[in-house]
Structure 1
């Protein structure tokens, strides 16, 4: 099976990062104007950019794992390549956060007992169960993805391809049941791996559809209709229940969000390559922002803080433009001067792509 490259998905990755950046800036912005007040209200939608990251990652990782399932170095190549992509920037930022940021904010250094969780990708536990911790809060999503990367390759390697859809259904069911339990126990469902893993599983389902040849243009109208039928009720539900704390909404909201992004990705992947949507997502600006999106996501809270601390500008929009551009500059410098040398080392850990088709096995 040949693992094709979708340039459009770099644009999707850029949008996911921009959504989160928009959310983190405007969620607390307030200058008394109606415009900023409106932006702060709609900024909450930017929080779902993390869900988009999850669905997209689930798709991309699953299609790679399925394609390389017969490689002799299946596990070593996958995990080493993931380490080279994720770990260097992750730990660089932790160093900045724990040993540079205190000088900027003139605060005390965090105790090791509170740092510990973040060094080992365990921050979801103290954030969920209210244990003492100190670290970059937005790193919870990176921990969720790393945990998924730990067990998902093992499942895909040892189960028959025809059972992948069933395993995905089980993962979704487990996540829903855990959210139900957590909500009734008054635990947070937002940060915990096993209450968010169904979003990654929804992305994995797109990889199954690709294997079954169900991402062709003939399916485009079905995905579009599904999204439109879901989008309006979802927006209405969000507006009606936002901040209400209704328990059932806390259980099912991630399903609605992930299904929406599932439909959007299926629309993109099944639309004609020369469609306006795909041409837009392939434009140079979005492609570039998608390339450096990991850095955008990692650095933006630190840059926002630096900009607010050292720039005496009171205009909200000038602050947003300045902090956004500075984040892009820093993410770009990081990508080419720090991340790229590690990415080039991936060539030493390649795996062979299976030549036999898995489609017949998958649909048995």
Structure 2
């Protein structure tokens, strides 16, 4: 079966990347200005762009896995394609971060004992449990994705569709229980694989709907209705409790936000071709941004830091523009001069 390519999902990926970038830009600003404080609070929702990434990734990867389930070399092809997409840029940035930047800044290279967690994708464990680590903190989400996709193909391969649905709901329940246990013991839930895996599983549920034919008959308006019902408690929790680290919020916010994005993605792919949202998500800017979104996510904290350190612009608006333009330039160069070489191998493998 040839999978339909949803061009609009490039736009969704772009929105997720831009949300995270906007959040990090304003979150790092120290200010007493009431206007900027309000802007920081509003842009705080951008932090959930990672949740959008997770749900989207869960949907896209799961539909690929289900579609290729009966193909030859199922596991080998999946893991090689995954490695070609993720590893080159991931490890290139670690080399830049650990060895090139200290050379440029004339600083000490971090001890390997502090680096090791990032080289083996255990950075989010190190951050959660306060191990002695040093590295790009925003890589925590990449660790979660790799952990999930190390196990998920096994479940897809050995379970039928009904049992996969059961596995999805078990994962959602387990994530809830792990968050509850960690909150009770005053352990941070934000970075840990087993407290965020339900977001990827929720995206996978949308792929199950697609293969069961449910999306074809599901009315897009129903996604709007469910999203509206979910957004009331979700945005209520975010707006009134943001920054307070309330226990109940840490337990329920991820699953609520994930189902909101489940509805958003479901709506985007089921609406008619001439719908304004589909056209909006398919415009050239979003398509391009979605294409380089991995680089945008990887490079943006470093780009923001370099602009802030070396240009010292006095205008926040100017700093915002320069920072984002610089990040787009770096990510574009990375994509076309480096990542695309490996993507070419990945695409050839997919056709074999």
Residue in structure 1 matched with residue 169 of structure 2 by the alignment = 169
Superposed, 1:193-272 pairs within 5 Å as 193-216=193-216, 218-272=218-272
Q: Is the 8 A contact 1:30 1:36 kept in 2?
A: no
Q: Structure 2 CA distance, aligned partners of 1:252 and 1:19?
A: 21
Higher mean Cα deviation, 226-235 or 132-141? 226-235
Higher mean Cα deviation, 235-244 or 204-213? 235-244
Residue in structure 1 matched with residue 140 of structure 2 by the alignment = 140
Residue in structure 2 matched with residue 355 of structure 1 by the alignment = none
Deviations 1:113-138 (A, max 9, x none): 00000000011111011111000000
Q: Is the 8 A contact 1:183 1:251 kept in 2?
A: yes
TM-score (norm 2): 0.97
Q: Is the 8 A contact 1:199 1:258 kept in 2?
A: yes
Q: Structure 1 CA distance, aligned partners of 2:312 and 2:24?
A: 20
Q: Structure 2 CA distance, aligned partners of 1:97 and 1:59?
A: 31
Residue in structure 2 matched with residue 359 of structure 1 by the alignment = none
Q: Structure 2 CA distance, aligned partners of 1:240 and 1:36?
A: 18
Q: Is the 8 A contact 1:12 1:281 kept in 2?
A: yes
Q: Structure 2 CA distance, aligned partners of 1:312 and 1:252?
A: 40
Q: Structure 2 CA distance, aligned partners of 1:72 and 1:298?
A: 33
Q: Is the 8 A contact 2:161 2:208 kept in 1?
A: no
Q: Structure 2 CA distance, aligned partners of 1:142 and 1:266?
A: 24
Deviation of residue 241 (structure 1)? 1.9
Residue in structure 2 matched with residue 44 of structure 1 by the alignment = 44
Deviations 1:83-112 (A, max 9, x none): 000000000000111112224554321110
Q: Structure 1 CA distance, aligned partners of 2:49 and 2:34?
A: 25
Deviations 1:274-330 (A, max 9, x none): 100000000000000000000000000111111111113111110011010000011
1:53 aligns with 2:53: yes
Unmatched 5+ residue regions in structure 2? Answer: none
Residue in structure 2 matched with residue 192 of structure 1 by the alignment = 192
Residue in structure 2 matched with residue 12 of structure 1 by the alignment = 12
1:152 aligns with 2:141: no
Residue in structure 1 matched with residue 320 of structure 2 by the alignment = 320
Unmatched 5+ residue regions in structure 1? Answer: 353-364
Q: Structure 2 CA distance, aligned partners of 1:90 and 1:215?
A: 34
Q: Structure 1 CA distance, aligned partners of 2:158 and 2:164?
A: 11
Q: Structure 1 CA distance, aligned partners of 2:246 and 2:286?
A: 37
Q: Is the 8 A contact 1:31 1:316 kept in 2?
A: no
Q: CA RMSD in A?
A: 1.4
Deviation of residue 35 (structure 1)? 3.1
Residue in structure 1 matched with residue 117 of structure 2 by the alignment = 117
Q: Structure 2 CA distance, aligned partners of 1:259 and 1:138?
A: 23
Q: Structure 2 CA distance, aligned partners of 1:30 and 1:112?
A: 32
Residue in structure 1 matched with residue 279 of structure 2 by the alignment = 279
Q: Is the 8 A contact 1:84 1:342 kept in 2?
A: yes
Q: Tell me the secondary structure at the aligned position of residue 29 of structure 1.
A: coil
